[in-house]
Amino acid sequence: MENWIETTSEPRKLILAWQAPDHMEDRFRWAVGELEPHNDTLVFRYIVDDEASFAALNGNRLVEQLHALGYRGYPAFNPRRKEHRTGVLDAFMSRLPPPHRPDFTDYKRQFCLPPDLALSDFSLLGHTEAKLPSDGFSLVDPLNPGAERCDMLLEIAGYRYYADTHSLVGVGTPLEIRAEPDNPHDPKAVQVCVGGQKIGNINRLQAPTFRRWLETRTVSAVVQRLNGRAGRPRALAFVRVRPARLSVAA
């Protein structure tokens, strides 16, 4: 059975993330900015110079480490200005194929987005992450912990580091999503498992919302797609969030 996103939650903000080039051998996904709707416009803010926000979103890593990896800001927006309000939506929508292209429906299908699903441009950026193969930037929806119902397609972070579990994983395999308080790197991590064995994690920037959902919602997931290349396999999960099932006393 095909999985389609039927219910969405409009993002309240999106986080601009950056990964260093492969040859730097550091795959940490740095949070470097935020996009947030304000009235009828979209505002982009760098957080690199906001010490508290930067530390909170980047596991207390230092800005100096980010710059040492080659980060120089997002090309469309001068990093010496913290806030930008002009041309923000156009700058990020240019990372997606134009909607009038005949294959745009096929593009949306990659993200389990049905042709007739009504989405704002901002929501489309969140669902697709607006990745390009050339620059390491992407947009991450930190998700809404108050959402009662939503569907999403997510890449399982760190999947390639669990090669000994890959024989357990196939398209359609049910997944278990659990808090991981004993994670040695991040006690707030959320793990993804198959048959009790860890195969990766939920994106660090989305883990706080998942932890809340695990306490207050019913969260189910299956493997949607396996791809990537030799040495860098990828697994994508289709996730459904629904109201918690209530226990009925006998």
The tens digit of pLDDT for each residue in 122-140 reads 999 999 999 998 899 999 9
CA-nearest of 180, 154, 152 to 241 is: 152
Q: Does residue 1 have a pLDDT over 50?
A: yes
The whole-model pTM stands at 0.94
Does one domain contain both 98 and 170?
Answer: no
Residue 3 lies in a domain: no
Within a domain: residue 102?
Answer: yes
Q: What pLDDT score was predicted for residue 250?
A: 37
Confidence band, pLDDT 50/70/90 cuts, at residue 214: very high
Clarify whether residues 193 and 82 are in a common domain.
no
CATH number, residue 214: 3.30.70.2330
Q: Examine the domain organization and report whether 135 and 176 are in the same domain.
A: no
Calpha distance 53→245 (Å, rounded): 35
Mean pLDDT of the chain: 95
Residue 212 lies in a domain: yes
Domain count along the chain:
2
Q: Can you say how many angstroms the Cα of residue 127 is from the centroid of all Cα atoms in its chain? A: 8
* pLDDT range class, residue 27, cuts 50, 70, 90: confident
Residue in this structure with the two tokens 């969030």, named with its chain if needed: 241
Give the model's confidence band at 230: pLDDT under 50 very low, under 70 low, under 90 confident, else very high: confident
Range of the domain at 20: 8-142
Output DSSP code: residue 152.
Answer: E
The count of other CB atoms within 10 Å of the CB of residue 10 is 14
The one-letter amino acid code at 13 reads: K
Domain finish residue from 113, 142, 171 = 142
For the segment 153-188, what is each residue's pLDDT rounded down to a tens digit? 999 999 999 999 999 999 999 999 999 999 999 999
